[in-house]
Amino acid sequence: MKRRSHVGTYIVLTVAAIVSALPNLLVLVGSLRPNTEIVANPTGLPTSLYLGNYARAWEEGSIGIYFVNSLIVTLVSLALALVLFLPAAYALGRWQFRFAGLVQALFLIGLMIPLKIGILPLVQMYDQWRLIDNLGGLILVYTAQTAPLMILILSTFYRQLPDTLEAAAMIDGASPFRTFFSVMTPLMTPAIAASVILSIGPIWNDFFMPLVLLRNEENFTIPVGFSSFFGEYGVDRGMLFAGIVIAVAPVVIFFALAMRQIVGGLTAGIEK
């Protein structure tokens, strides 16, 4: 009976995986077909390996510019978030001070309140600060957006580290800052990887904030840049599919390479 239940589970998971992968496979196959073939037979297989869609997406569709903008915004936002929120998470996870629970609760509220609710005052403030149509302004928004999730993951992991580590560092004469940088944070690799990876998707794939805050096409990120692929009377599906593959490939590769760190970071506290 146990073996049969395992077989049934594998069948269900296999079917679910195929259903989930089918749209992605259609996009990948479509990116290797000329637009005329896609229009004639949307679900057909390519008769030959056609890479012209990728060249046109990169040059005519300006996907290269959008790709670089998305890369800059994502990397700088995550780097800035780590610089700001690692110390904050360490303080919340390791130090006992007044109103620590209230501060933690305020960060967690950010997981329940969408950032889009405050878009009107944000635009007004950015207009006064001349941050509209500026990648720096978009970076600040995404840095703040990552705060609740990063604080939750990192502070929880910091809290689970043994107190003997700090005690040993104190006996050796290490200051609190030296303990943070040299003793505790190097043990946080799984949690840092998990928080970074879970924050990449909402930044890389976001359409709303760049649409509202950016004006110049040279500053567009990939999701907003895709809107230029749609013409008034039609769309070049082959070029669109190639652009989607180019946009999704870095995230998929990064997830595949960091999967062990994701699982390690999310399950680190189970055995404690």
For 180-189, the pLDDT digits (tens) are 888 899 888 8
7: which 2 tokens?
A: 């077989």
262: which 2 tokens?
A: 């994701």
160: which 2 tokens?
A: 């689970």
So what's the pLDDT on residue 12? 87
Burial of 69 (0-12, 13-18, 19+ CB in 10 A): buried
DSSP 45: P
Mean pLDDT within 95-107: 83
Higher per-residue pLDDT: 104 or 265: 104
Q: Are 253 and 203 contacting, i.e. CB atoms less than 8 angstroms apart?
A: no
- Whole-model pTM? 0.85
Q: Which residues contact 32 (CB under 8 A, 6 or more apart)?
A: 46, 49, 50, 51, 53
For tokens 């502070």, what's the residue?
155
109 alpha carbon, distance to own chain's centre: 20
So what's the pLDDT on residue 110? 83
**CATH match of 62-266 with 3.40.30.10:** no
Q: Are 115 and 85 contacting, i.e. CB atoms less than 8 angstroms apart?
A: no
Task: Name the least confident of 55-69, 189-203, 226-240, 246-260.
Answer: 226-240
Task: Name the least confident of 5-14, 107-116, 221-230, 232-241.
Answer: 232-241
Q: How far apart are CA 161 and CA 165, in angstroms?
A: 8
Asked if residue 206 has pLDDT above 50, the reply is: yes
Q: Are 239 and 53 contacting, i.e. CB atoms less than 8 angstroms apart?
A: yes
Q: Are 81 and 150 contacting, i.e. CB atoms less than 8 angstroms apart?
A: yes
Asked if residue 48 has pLDDT above 90, the reply is: no
So what's the pLDDT on residue 270? 45
Domain boundaries, the chain: 62-266
CA-based torsion, 85, 86, 90, 91: positive or negative: negative
Binning pLDDT at 50, 70 and 90, where does residue 96 land? confident
Q: What string of DSSP letters covers 102-129?
A: HHHHHHHHHHHS-GGGGHHHHHHHHHHH
So what's the pLDDT on residue 3? 64
